[in-house]
Amino acid sequence: MAEMGHRFSFIFTLTLLHFLHFCSAKLGVSTPPPLPILPLPSFSQLKWQQREVIMFLHFGPNTFTDSEWGTGRESPTVFNPTALDAAQWAATAAAANISLMILTAKHHDGFCLWPSKYTTHSVSRSPWKNGHGDVVKEFVDAAAPRGIDVGVYLSPWDRHDRRYSHELAYNEYYLAQLQELLNNYGNVREIWFDGAKGKNAPNMSYYFSDWFAMVKELQSSINIFSDAGPDIRWVGDENGFAGTPCWSTINRSSLAIGAEGITQYLNEGDPEGTHWVPPECDVSIRNGWFWHKSESPKSLKTLLEIYYNSVGRNCVLLFNVPPNSTGLIAQEDAHTLTQFKAAIHTIFSSNLAQNCSLRASSQRGGKESAFGPENVLDNDHLWTYWAPRGADAGGDHWIEIRSQQKQGLRFNVVRIQEAIGLGQRIKRHEIYLDGKRIVEESSVGYKRLHRIKSGVVCGEVVRVRITEARAVPLISSLGLHLDPFWDPTGLS
């Protein structure tokens, strides 16, 4: 499968490597994987990345007052869902193949969806279940039987509590609530620290280092989300679009929660970044974050556009599906979500490259090694991969998909995935169809999806060329797909 180079030194290296390979093959010893390039994801970050689409549930007094940012002066009596059923939320998520749901346990209005010991501004003073209800508990209990993991959102900005603006008192209050949420409801996989804060809010410091240390103490497998990580970063916008490039790596020291002027940096990341802090794209299925009678869900076309620009750009999509004032996810939202899941399935469940033959510029450890191009067609998208020979990021590294059928290949989407368990590497890549370049782009990461700008294309040979990388490129998966929903002429 290796294609011979012309330079003598190259042939010499090749011969030497074949010799070494021959020796190790004789001893029955396999070539080890290449060295990683730092920084690397943590175990929990890898699990999170593979979820791809997760769900946000904005729910609270705003659901009943038709607002987005409550003032904090709402009476707890406004919170009165007539038929709250968290099992319906979990069923909706399960039907959409979603494995993590995050609930706004407290939004900026300060109202707590659980009976906190440290305030009366909670469900304990609402008519719902005569003040004996606990939405967080119902949420957690409904998720478990569906195999769905949970996360919580606890707004730092609190417009109700009088302690807010008294730095020490408020930080103690906030830490106490973190302990309630992270001690009493089992495993929590993600916690959301929202950087949002009104312009006229009191200027007060949050003790983030205490908060984060407490979170990790109570939940070792949790991922902490904020503008600045430490585990997951905000993508820098609320329409669900990541940048191009989009690096999982970034310099944490140049980020601050709620800081201005860093949205582009958050959007694109940094190939030289010192920390692994991948972006999450938060976007709502409707216009607002909370349910409003006057709004309806976005179209399937819009949702797919969001998917390609988030999951298709190395991000996790955090999709907000807000329960209504009955306490249920509206039928039309659930329907849209199911349609969305079905569309993704239609596009990606079959890989048109599946039965093709593969060829690559070279192969680490030689022909018999575990690093052959065939790895890009198996179901493991992390730990089996094609690796070229050597440790050199430069050089003409490429991998080719060749049709074995008379009718050739017909597709409009190309999927490329890197073996990010060993670090994110690819800086620039190109795709050729029968020698003609059809894509010229930047980073890849866990998953990169390219819709071919000219629409459906046909041909025999697709070549992916890596033109610039931080280290020798490792490709874990390649796919050719046909998206019947995409009409390139309909794009603005």
Ligand X SMILES: *[C@@H]1O[C@H](CO)[C@@H](O)[C@H](O)[C@H]1NC(C)=O
Q: Does 74 bind ligand X (CB under 6 A)?
A: no
Minimum CB distance to ligand X, residue 129 (Å)? 18
Minimum CB distance to ligand X, residue 349 (Å)? 7
Q: Does 345 bind ligand X (CB under 6 A)?
A: yes
CB under 6 A: which stretch of 31-39, 48-56, 57-65, 299-307 binds ligand X? Answer: 48-56
- In the complex with ligand X, the residue whose CB is nearer, 85 or 430, is 85
Q: Does 441 bind ligand X (CB under 6 A)?
A: no
- In the complex with ligand X, the residue whose CB is nearer, 171 or 324, is 324
DSSP state of 323: B
Q: Does 355 bind ligand X (CB under 6 A)?
A: yes
**Residues paired with residue 250 on neighbouring β-strands, in sequence order:** 275
CB under 6 A: which stretch of 59-67, 176-184, 236-244, 345-353 binds ligand X? Answer: 345-353
The sign one gets for the Cα dihedral 261, 264, 267, 273 is negative
CB under 6 A: which stretch of 1-9, 50-58, 190-198, 216-224 binds ligand X? Answer: 50-58
Segment 313 to 342, residues that bind ligand X, using CB under 6 A: 324-326, 328, 330-331
303-325: burial string, b at 16+ Cβ within 10 Å, e else = bbbbbbbbbbbbbbbbbbbbbbb
Q: Which two tokens stand for residue 22?
A: 């021959």
CB under 6 A: which stretch of 278-286, 298-306, 349-357, 369-377 binds ligand X? Answer: 349-357
Q: Which two tokens stand for residue 253?
A: 């020291």
- In the complex with ligand X, the residue whose CB is nearer, 387 or 475, is 475
Give the angle subtended at the CA of 264 by the CAs of 263 and 266, to the nearest 5°: 65
Minimum CB distance to ligand X, residue 348 (Å)? 7
- In the complex with ligand X, the residue whose CB is nearer, 52 or 180, is 52
Query: In terms of Cα–Cα distance, which of 248, 250, 307 is closest to 281?
Result: 307
Cα-trace Rg, the chain:
25
Q: Does 287 bind ligand X (CB under 6 A)?
A: no
Q: Does 51 bind ligand X (CB under 6 A)?
A: yes
Give the angle subtended at the CA of 488 by the CAs of 484 and 489, to the nearest 5°: 120
Segment 92 to 111, residues that bind ligand X, using CB under 6 A: 97
Query: In terms of Cα–Cα distance, which of 259, 213, 215 is closest to 233?
Result: 259
CB under 6 A: which stretch of 153-161, 230-238, 267-275, 438-446 binds ligand X? Answer: 267-275
| Contact indicator for 413, 347 with CB cutoff of 8 Å | yes
Helices (H), 116-207: 135-143, 167-183
Segment 189 to 248, residues that bind ligand X, using CB under 6 A: 203, 205
- In the complex with ligand X, the residue whose CB is nearer, 320 or 325, is 325
List CB contacts of 252: < 8 A, sequence separation 6 or more.
Answer: 228, 229, 230, 274, 275, 277
Minimum CB distance to ligand X, residue 194 (Å)? 19
Minimum CB distance to ligand X, residue 76 (Å)? 20
Q: Which two tokens stand for residue 199?
A: 């312009």
DSSP state of 244: S
Q: Does 404 bind ligand X (CB under 6 A)?
A: no
| Contact indicator for 411, 351 with CB cutoff of 8 Å | no
- In the complex with ligand X, the residue whose CB is nearer, 13 or 326, is 326
- In the complex with ligand X, the residue whose CB is nearer, 101 or 387, is 101
Query: Residue 255 region, left (φ>0) first, then alpha (ψ -120 to 50), else beta?
Result: beta
Q: Which two tokens stand for residue 37?
A: 């390039």
| Contact indicator for 350, 307 with CB cutoff of 8 Å | no
Q: Does 272 bind ligand X (CB under 6 A)?
A: yes
The footprint of ligand X (CB under 6 A) covers: 50-52, 97, 203, 205, 251, 254, 270, 272-274, 324-326, 328, 330-331, 345, 350, 352, 354-355
